[in-house]
Amino acid sequence: MIVIALLILLIVVEKIANKILSVEKIKMSETSGKIINRWGQTILFIIFLVQLWLMVDSSDMQRMFYFTIYLALLFGYQALMEFIFIKKSKQYISTAILLSIVLIIINLESFPFMVKS
């Protein structure tokens, strides 16, 4: 239930950010960076799969750390590609805002694991 609420929150934040910044949505597949973007996301996914394999015997904190790194790389890469190939639309700003919110939510959620009773 919490995951669904967080996804709805992210969708609403993205819509609001796009409206405030007057962002026109452009797909990366419609730009000249289509191939570079696809290759980069494939490489990041392979890195994620390797991380999954490495964290089989990890603690919950380490898993959260690996997952946070993957999300930061994925959103950061997406924002960078949007900045390079579709700079005029300001879409990279809303992606960077989403990256910040996702990292804050993950850190707030993982905080109770760091406090030992």
Q: pLDDT tens for the chain, 117 residues: list them.
A: 667 887 888 889 888 888 888 888 888 878 888 899 999 999 999 988 988 888 888 787 777 788 888 888 998 999 999 899 888 888 888 888 888 888 888 777 765 555 554
Structural domain containing residue 93: 57-117
Structural domains counted in the chain: 1
Residue 45 phi/psi, 5° resolution? Answer: -65, -40
Whether 37 maps to a domain, the answer reads no
Whether 25 maps to a domain, the answer reads no
Burial class (CB in 10 A: 0-12, 13-18, 19+), 94: buried
Grouping H, G, I as helix, E, B as strand and the rest as coil, residue 7 is: helix
Whether 111 maps to a domain, the answer reads yes
